[in-house]
Amino acid sequence: MMKTTGATAQRGHCFAAAAALLTLLAGDTGRAVEFAPSVTLSAVVTTLLTFLWVLLTVTLPLFRDADDSLPGKHAEFIHGGAPKNRKRHTSAAWVHVILWMFMCWTVLDTALQNFTVQGAQNLACYFLFVSTVLLVASCARSGDAHRFSRAVIAVGWARAGIYAVDLMRFGFGAQGVFAARSFAIEATLIMAVAIPLSRGSGWAARLLPYALFVEVVFSGSRTAMVVAGLLLACAPLCSTSGARRVRYLLRMSVVAAAGYAGLMHIQVLHDRFFTGDMVPVEGAVVNVSGRDLLWSVVSDHAADSPWVGFGGGSATNFVRQFVRTSGEPHNDWLRIWHDFGLVGLGLWVICFFGLIARCALLARRNAGRNARPHYAALLALLATGVVMITDNILIYYYAMLPLGAVVGLSIADKDATDSAGAAQPRTEQRVAPEKGEGVPVLSSSSV
């Protein structure tokens, strides 16, 4: 029975990871398949995934080992209870509580106000992120993070190859198999995973971030360009080797110089930033494509109900009703405030930056290969936070599902390391001078 329940829970994690990889590969291709007015393949996939994730979240805690813990060695991440004979990770527990508090508030706030189809779609994306973090964290085992990262590299090269063909066919800002903006957003998530993995890896992992950066630039997505550049700039921070950091800095200098030259001398790229709806930003004047007016209108409306908002999907419905030129608020921080008020925004800020702080702490406490999943989660969360300023990434299931898997693997890898370290005391070798034989002796730190 123990083997059966453990295998069942492990299959739940494998299913979640596989779904994350498939959605990362497919991206927004479902937008082009429409079954009925306003009913696309993407909407159907979101609904099916949400239904399956609800079943997994509800049933997974039933599959416990004999010691009342899940195979991932921290069942408290799913159902809040501390496993028997195990040290409770309080930091994991409070993150779990805030994540569920945010999810419960979004559902309650939406149910008590105006429940709409758009609100249901938004709630589904939030739930996919929260539940994927918890599902993967509760069932993943040691080594799963590395295997998942390798799979992401393969997915990244597949997407890069497909979009390269689109660029050759349609030119700058190509809208082919993938929409330009959605391709660029997912490319930043793939870069976040690939950059820490590039240390000590083959050419595929090392070259992928730079190949994706070039394609992000030619996609024309300005926010994604900035985020991709920041991710490359953060690459030296993922290494403790001075020589490797110098090599990273040299590569970044070349990339920065090429980027500046392209921005100044490639007309279509220059126009994306410096012509159109111009707004002063830190001494420079950049094109915001009408977002300043859009944000002003949405924030003024949000101020009418600042504490509880207007319910899930209300920002989208308001924009589509009163600002006909745009279908979304293009600022997810503003979206959460408008939909769920300062209460919902406060819960989201606490859990989001709590996850960032946790991943940063775990990255500092580990070294080499063990630190890679934590750096990947950290960079992915930072990239998401920046993209949220000008885009709608929180309602893209094909971005939030992979992000949840990356974050969940970071948490799971931490607990697997803790358990391994607790099970095996550290030893050191003491050599007898007269015989030269090593005798294992417990170190003082393990007593």
Q: What are the DSSP E strand ranges found in 320-443?
A: 427-431, 438-442
Closest alpha carbon to 80 in 105, 111, 57, 106: 57
State the DSSP string of 128-148: HHHHHHHHHHHH--TTHHHHH
**Reported pTM:** 0.84
Q: 45-49, 74-78, 307-311, 324-328: lowest mean pLDDT where? A: 74-78
Closest alpha carbon to 286 in 225, 211, 216: 225
Closest alpha carbon to 135 in 4, 17, 6, 2: 17
Query: Angle CA(64)–CA(20)–CA(210) in degrees, nearest 5?
Result: 135
| pLDDT band per the 50, 70, 90 thresholds, residue 79 | very low
User: Residues 273, 264: contact at Cβ < 8 Å?
Assistant: no
- Render pLDDT for 374-426 as a digit per residue (tens, 0 to 9): 999 999 999 999 999 999 999 999 999 999 999 999 988 654 444 444 444 44
Instruction: Decide: residue 61, CB within 10 A, 0-12 exposed, 13-18 middle, 19+ buried.
Output: middle
Query: How far apart are the C-alpha atoms of 62 and 227, rounded to whole Å?
Result: 41
**Residues, the chain:** 447
Query: How far apart are the C-alpha atoms of 97 and 381, rounded to whole Å?
Result: 19
Domain boundaries, the chain: 2-142+276-432
Given this model, what pLDDT does residue 352 score?
Answer: 96
Cα dihedral sign, 247-251-254-256: negative
Token pair listed for 83: 């496993």
- Render pLDDT for 106-122 as a digit per residue (tens, 0 to 9): 999 999 988 888 899 99
Closest alpha carbon to 149 in 327, 406, 358: 406
In order of 23, 32, 52, the CA distances from 48 in angstroms are: 13, 18, 6
In order of 2, 38, 360, the CA distances from 81 in angstroms are: 19, 42, 25
User: Residues 62, 79: contact at Cβ < 8 Å?
Assistant: no
Query: How far apart are the C-alpha atoms of 79 and 134, rounded to whole Å?
Result: 10
DSSP state of 194: H
In order of 259, 400, 418, 432, the CA distances from 131 in angstroms are: 38, 11, 23, 55
What is the average pLDDT score of the chain?
Answer: 80
Per DSSP, helices labelled H in 198-241 are 203-219, 222-234
- Render pLDDT for 315-336 as a digit per residue (tens, 0 to 9): 999 998 887 777 899 999 999 9
- Render pLDDT for 208-243 as a digit per residue (tens, 0 to 9): 999 999 999 999 999 999 999 999 888 877 766 666
End-to-end Cα spacing for the chain: 36
Look at strands 278-281 and 39-40 and give their pairing. unpaired
Question: If you average pLDDT over each of 51-60, 139-148, 267-276, 298-307, which comes out highest?
Answer: 298-307
Query: How far apart are the C-alpha atoms of 198 and 167, rounded to whole Å?
Result: 26
